[in-house]
Amino acid sequence: MLITHHFRAFATAAALLASAALAQAQQLPNVLILATGGTIAGAGASAANSATYAAAKVPVDKLIAGLPELSKVANVKGEQVFQIASESFTNDNLLTLGKRVSALVKQPDVDGIVVTHGTDTLEETAYFLNLVVRTDKPIVVVGSMRPGTALSADGALNLYDAVNVAASKDAKGKGVLVTMNDEIHSGRDVSKAINIRTEAFKSQWGALGMVVEGKNYWFRAPVKRHTTQSEFNIDEITALPQVDIAYGYGNVPASSYEAIGKGAKAIIHAGTGNGSVADRVVPALQKLRADGVQVIRSSRVNTGGFVLRNAEQPDDKYDWVVAHDLNPQKARILAMVALTKPLSTADLQRVFWEY
Ligand code: DAS
């Protein structure tokens, strides 16, 4: 009799706990983590290895299992889209990831997306998604500068922050975001400015906010077109055109531009200073333009360019485009997306002013 009584009490308690857990789960947002590799999935031989390690080793389910705190933030599921170091990303990787994100955000049971990613080209993927995924749901791209095996690894807190932001209603409609080192950046503005410190990611116009202990503190919001305001849609893009970057420097030969521009739809000139073009290079760029290649002047300066039309180069006369504040790698992403449409030079320049 006594055993039955205890058993009934135990069963009742278990049922109450289960229903409480279910009720909590039903209240929590649903966040999907799409894993692509990088240092955040890296592993080193010892805890002292903060810079010597192999990227893209730890599967997404292990990343999630290592963060039980996530269960209080959101109902989290993981999907291993790729397992690569991001310096090896290709246009096909961008398209595959973009289409997967676009399909998932259409699902009513998905409230937010986190993309774990290598830091080397994280800024390119974040900007790409910002341009082509038509959703106001939070999409947060996150990486780490140290592998999870290292002392003071940054990946766990970066991922915790990313899930918190992706689960937040106040992160909706802000375009694709990047959480690194407690900061929330716009996917458009942020770039990797330092290659070995945890404070590696900077935005020329500043972070949008901070996330501290799971709470977002916003100070700015994006004004450039993105996601739902974009004229571009990943669902309508089947291929990305060839757009490559030629780096300007003292003594640069015109032949490097001729080679880079061969077969391209556009060439990004990573110019010195104000996107300046060496006089010996101008004829090569004019020839490329005459052959139908769009010429886009960006700046190689590392803390933020601001290239204007007809400042030191007669862009109107040469029918060239300026990348304004976009660094060369961001300018390449925008040019590729824009040139999936048959845009005139004037239209292409409009796109560079607006996105
Ligand atoms: N190789 C780098 C990458 O995958 C490692 C990293 O920083 O994530 O981008």
Distance 198 CA to ligand 1 centre (A): 13
Site residues for ligand 1, CB cut-off 6 Å? 38-39, 55, 85-87, 118-120, 143
Cα–ligand 1 centroid distance for 84 (angstroms): 9
pLDDT of 12 reads: 79
Residue owning the nearest CA to atom 7 of ligand 1: 119
Could you give the CA distance from residue 147 to residue 192 in angstroms, rounded to a whole number?
A: 17
Best mutation site among 53, 116, 120, 194 for ligand 1 pocket (most ligand atoms within 8 Å of CB): 120
What does the buried/exposed string (b/e) look like for 178-207 if buried means 16 or more CB atoms within 10 Å of the residue's CB?
bbbbbbbbbbbbbbbbeeeebebbbbeeeb
Q: What CA–CA distance (Å, rounded) separates 80 from 353?
A: 36
Tokens of 17: 């706990």
Determine the Cα–Cα distance for residues 12 and 16; give it in Å rounded to an integer.
6
Q: Is 39 noted as a catalytic residue in this protein?
A: yes
What's the 263 CA to ligand 1 centre distance in angstroms?
29
- Distance, C-alpha 238 to centroid of its chain: 20
What spacing in Å lies between the alpha carbon of 202 and ligand 1's midpoint?
Answer: 16
At residue 319, the pLDDT reads 98
Q: Tens of pLDDT along the chain (355 residues)?
A: 666 777 787 777 777 777 776 766 679 999 999 999 999 999 999 999 999 999 999 999 999 999 999 999 999 999 999 999 999 999 999 999 999 999 999 999 999 999 999 999 999 999 999 999 999 999 999 999 999 999 999 999 999 999 999 999 999 999 999 999 999 999 999 999 999 999 999 999 999 999 999 999 999 999 999 999 999 999 999 999 999 999 999 999 999 999 999 999 999 999 999 999 999 999 999 999 999 999 999 999 988 899 999 998 999 999 999 999 999 999 999 999 999 999 999 999 999 999 9
Q: Can you tell me which atom of ligand 1 is nearest the CA of 40? A: 8
